[in-house]
Amino acid sequence: MVEPLFKRLVIIGIGLIGSSIARGAKAFGGIAGTLVICDSNPAALARAAELGLGDAYEASAAQAVAGADGVILCTPVGTYAALAQTIAPHLAPGCVLSDVGSTKQSVLRDVEPLVPANAVFVPAHPIAGTEFSGPDAGLADLFKGRWSLLTPPAGTAEAAVVKIETMWKILGAQTARMDAAHHDRVIAIVSHLPHLIAFTICGTADDLADETRGEVLQFAASGFRDFTRIAASDPVMWRDIFLNNKDALLEMFSRFSEDAQAMARAVRWGDADYIEDKINRSRKIRKSLIDIKQA
């Protein structure tokens, strides 16, 4: 019998991503000997137990990580600093600590300095999700064909990085390694800014006069429905992401604002060629996305 990657793996936070990892670990095997689910929310933890997502359930993160050789933080990134402080004294020698946060510079800032010298921190970010939240929302194949990006700082023990890469490959993802700052810029334009825009435009519509708002909902065309699908995502998770990727997000927002103002100006002054050219560029990007089979 082949040894699992981790003898005792702890998932802290049993939301969409945490419960997808747990489901994948059960479905595909080879990841965890004992899978421990930990969540500070009693309702979420009880539901995880009802669903049979793990082998053991633990409300206290400090107790959960004791004796574990693998720990994955799956809570909103705003909780990481306090959580790292709580678990650090209890991490076993040789433990591989990882996470799934969408902002990697903040994670290195908040977690890495607290990790004991005999444990290894391997930050990771699976680029996958749906608009649903909580332990019921997880899917065993959520990561299938998607990317998981690892941002280990220079000098991170190679064996630990390979362990986390292997876990993501078992879950069906492709992996890549990159610098945390670079990661944060790429994800700001690909994911964080689109979410900021989607959240905003829903509010803009909601602020219109009551009569118009009713009709906005009634007549919502496909454009708006796609936007609101994005906008249904978890509020605390996204609040934390915005606050923890501030610099890259604000830079991308600034670039976008300039471009949107230029488009609005072309509309005002009837610059048909400019508008058509920009739309044609968008189509090409869409085509590239389809060509590389991410669409």
134 vs 173: CA distance, rounded Å: 21
Using CB under 8 A, which of 63, 86, 130, 166 touches a copy of itself? 130
For a copy of itself, the closer of residues 7 and 286 by Cβ is: 286
d(CA 64, CA 254): 43
Is residue 220 at the binding interface for a copy of itself, with CB under 8 A as the rule? yes
| Piece of the chain touching a copy of itself by CB under 8 A; list 15-23, 37-45, 165-173, 188-196 | 188-196
Site for a copy of itself in 72-111 (CB under 8 A): none
Tokens 């519509």 correspond to 205
Stretch that binds a copy of itself, among 65-73, 108-116, 158-166, 239-247 (CB under 8 A): 239-247
**Closest of 124, 121, 115 to residue 90, by C-alpha:** 115
Q: What would you report as the CA-atom Rg of the chain, rounded to the nearest whole angstrom?
A: 21
**Treating both helix axes as pointing N-terminal to C-terminal, what angle do 246-268 and 193-206 enclose, rounded to 10 degrees?**
60
Of the candidate spans 18-26, 47-55, 89-97, 191-199, the one that interacts with a copy of itself by CB under 8 A turns out to be: 191-199
* Least distance from a copy of itself to the Cβ atom of residue 79, Å: 13
User: What's the length of the chain?
Assistant: 295
Between 155 and 280, name the residue whose CB sits nearer to a copy of itself.
Answer: 280
How many Å apart are CA 141 and CA 23, to the nearest integer?
8
Binding of a copy of itself by 289 (CB under 8 A): yes
Q: Does 218 bind a copy of itself (CB under 8 A)?
A: yes
Contacting a copy of itself (CB under 8 A), which of 1, 3, 117, 268? Answer: 268
Site size toward a copy of itself, by CB under 8 A: 92
User: Any contact of residue 132 with a copy of itself (CB under 8 A)?
Assistant: no
> Binder to a copy of itself among 79, 103, 175, 233 (CB under 8 A)?
233
Q: How far is the CB of 235 from a copy of itself (least distance, A)?
A: 4
CB 122 within 8 A of CB 97: yes
To a copy of itself, the closest distance from the beta carbon of 82 in angstroms equals: 15
- The backbone torsions φ and ψ at residue 127, rounded to the nearest 5 degrees and listed phi first, read -90, 85
Please pick, from the candidates 49, 108, 127, 157, the single residue that binds a copy of itself as defined by CB under 8 A.
127
219 lines the binding site for a copy of itself (CB under 8 A) = yes
- Judge contact between 69 and 96, C-beta under 8 A: yes
Least gap, CB of 13 to a copy of itself (angstroms): 18
Rule CB under 8 A: is residue 250 a binding residue for a copy of itself? yes
Alpha helices in the chain (DSSP H): 16-28, 42-51, 61-65, 80-87, 104-110, 158-170, 180-187, 193-206, 210-219, 222-231, 235-244, 246-268, 272-291
